[in-house]
Amino acid sequence: MQLAGKVAVITGAARGLGRAYAEALAAEGAAIVAADLNDCSDTVAAVESAGGRAVSTTVDVSDANSCEAMAALAMDGFGRIDVLINNAALYAGLKGARFEHLDEAQWDRVMQVNIKGTWLTSRAVVDHMRGSGGSIINIASLAAVFGLPYGLDYVASKAAVIGMTRGMARELGSDHIRVNAVAPSAVMTEGTEEFFGEKFEKAKSVIASNQLIPHNLATEDLTGTIVYLASDASRFVT
């Protein structure tokens, strides 16, 4: 098992990609801290039914105290933190519009969760990784480099995550803490279906046709990359 003895904290783990990451890392031997504003009991049950170890916690990634409590739970339960997957983000429920018509309150909330949340969760775990090293994996989006019409708030937030990843990698390399970002195209999850709404089927076709490999991504298409970045196989990748 590639992750035996490691402990992974995963935000946004109640469903979709976050749950898939939890199950994949647990299958490779990692103990899982599944964190979300929503109930993660299904994620924990799936991990445990497959023979893995997991606990769940409620976290608001935009709140520093909530992030610190998440890290404390991981340390109390498992004694270490080796991996952080910053997966929590506002996406599914966003109301798209031309950039000049986007709702200002929505814009602010996206920045609070998608950018500040990535900073706060990373800040909460980093001292626990120092000395032993670790891997921080930020979930960005192809939208940040390709450009997603009618979603500038989301695009801007994920572009910031890519920039933060580069800056954090330079700061934390001397601590043997690796920081990487994964920027997938739209993955066929409940959240993506909610985001596109009645245009979902058309969006699937357009997205696939614009890719060099014309295939709509499923959660299992991402988990191999995540396991690699969490494991010692990527110990010089940052």
Q: Please tell me the least confidently modeled range out of 29-38, 96-105, 114-123.
A: 96-105
Q: Are 54 and 7 in contact (CB under 8 A)?
A: no
Q: Please tell me the least confidently modeled range out of 11-15, 49-53, 144-148, 175-179.
A: 144-148
Q: In this structure, which amino acid lies at residue 51?
A: G
- The answer, yes or no, to whether residue 210 has pLDDT greater than 70, is yes
Q: Please tell me the least confidently modeled range out of 102-116, 129-143, 205-219.
A: 205-219
- The answer, yes or no, to whether residue 205 has pLDDT greater than 90, is no
Stronger pLDDT, 190 or 10, i.e. the higher one:
10
- The answer, yes or no, to whether residue 203 has pLDDT greater than 70, is no
- The answer, yes or no, to whether residue 218 has pLDDT greater than 90, is no
Residue 201: which pLDDT band, with cuts at 50, 70 and 90? Answer: confident
> Which residues have a Cβ under 8 Å from the Cβ of 182 and sit 6 or more positions away?
137, 138, 139, 140, 222, 225, 226, 229
Residue 236 is predicted with a pLDDT of 94
In the predicted model, what is the mean pLDDT of residues 64-70? 98
Residue 167 is predicted with a pLDDT of 98
Q: Give the active site residues.
A: 150
Going by the DSSP 8-state scheme, the letter that residue 179 receives in this structure is E
Structure confidence by residue, pLDDT tens digits, 153-172: 999 999 999 999 999 999 99
Average pLDDT across the chain, whole number? 91
Residue 91: which pLDDT band, with cuts at 50, 70 and 90? Answer: confident
DSSP track, 100-161? GGS-HHHHHHHIIIIIIHHHHHHHHHHHHHTTT-EEEEEE--THHHH--TT-HHHHHHHHHH
Residue 204 is predicted with a pLDDT of 67
- The answer, yes or no, to whether residue 195 has pLDDT greater than 90, is no
